[in-house]
Amino acid sequence: MMGAHHAMTGAAAWIAVTATAGHGLGLFPVSPAGTITGALLCAGAALLADADHGSATISRSVPVLGRLVTGGISRASGGHRHGLHGLLAVLCVWLLATGLDRLSWQSPWAEKPIDVGVAAASAAAIAFAGYALGLAQGSWPIAWLIGLVGAAGITVFAPERSDWFIVCITLGYGVHLAGDLLTTGGLPLFWPWVPRPPRAWRKVPVLRHVWTSGGYLALPVLGNAGSVREWALLIPVTLYVGYGMLFAALAEVGVDLAAILH
C-alpha cells in the first residue's frame, strides 16, 4: 500500500475506534478535539513500519540523517517488509509508546509535568503524515512546522484518557500491517519465524497467493501496491475521514452535524 494511503487509513481507523456520534464504533471514546489530534497522530504512526525502506517518506524527513537512520533500521530488521512488518514489531511499538508516554519533564514554570516523549513523537509522526498526505506541498520544512503545531495542539487538547497515546500509535502501526496484508506482497507476520508452505500448497492457484512460496501471508484483495483497487478503496476512506474530522471540529464548537443532516 502507498504511503499516503497508509496515512489515510490510519486516520480513518482512529476516527472509527474513538468517535461515538453515529460515525464511529466508540470503542475508545475521546473528546472531539481528541478525535482530530489523534487522527493526525495515527496517520503518522501508520507510516512508521516503512522506516525499513530507503525511499519511504520517513527516510526523506531529515536530509542525510533520515536515510542513515532508515538504512540502519532496514539492515537490523532484515530489509523492507521483514522485521518491521510482523506481529513482534507491533509489540515492540506498544512497548516503545508506553515508554514515551511515561517520559515527562516538570518545568518550573508549569503547574503539571510536560509529556516530552509524547510531544516529540507526535511532532515527528504528524510531520510524516502532513508530508505523505500532501498538506506540506512537498516541503519538509512546512511538514515539520505542521508537526510542531500539531504537537503543541496535542499538548493542549490531548484526550483525558491517560493511555490514548499508546493506543493511537499501536493502532496506526497495526493498520499499516493490515493494509500491506491486503496486497500481493503480503507480510511475514510471525517474523523471525517465516515458515514456507509445503510443495503441494504452492500448486493450488488461490492458496499459493495466500501463503506464498517465500513464507509470506496475504489476503491480496487489493492486488499490487498502488493498484486501481487500492485507489478505489481510498475514495470512501478519504470521504469518511473528511466527514469525521468535520464532525469533530463542529462538535468542538458546539455544532451537531448529525442533527443538521437529519
**What pTM was estimated for this model as a whole?**
0.91
pLDDT at 262 over 70: no
CA triple 242-244-249, angle to 5 deg: 95
Average pLDDT over residues 70-89: 86
Predicted local distance difference test score (pLDDT) of residue 2:
85
Record the cell numbers describing residue 238, joined without a space: 478519504
What integer best gives the mean pLDDT of the chain? 86
E-state strands within 88-238 = none
Report the C-alpha gap between 84 and 192 in whole angstroms.
10
* % residues pLDDT > 90 (the chain): 43
Those residues with Cβ within 8 angstroms of residue 190's Cβ, 6 or more apart along the chain or in another chain? 86, 87, 88
- Separation between Cα atoms, residue 173 and residue 219, nearest integer Å: 18
Predicted local confidence at residue 259, as pLDDT: 66
List the domain boundaries for the chain: 3-177
Residue 216 near residue 121 (C-beta atoms within 8 A): no
Mean pLDDT to the nearest integer, 77-91: 90
Identify which has the larger pLDDT, 249 or 12.
Answer: 12
- pLDDT digit string (tens) for 146-156? 999 988 888 77
Instruction: Give 49-105 as a DSSP string.
Output: GGGG-TTSTGGGSSTTHHHHHHHHHHHHHTSTTSGGGSHHHHHHHHHHHHHHHT--B
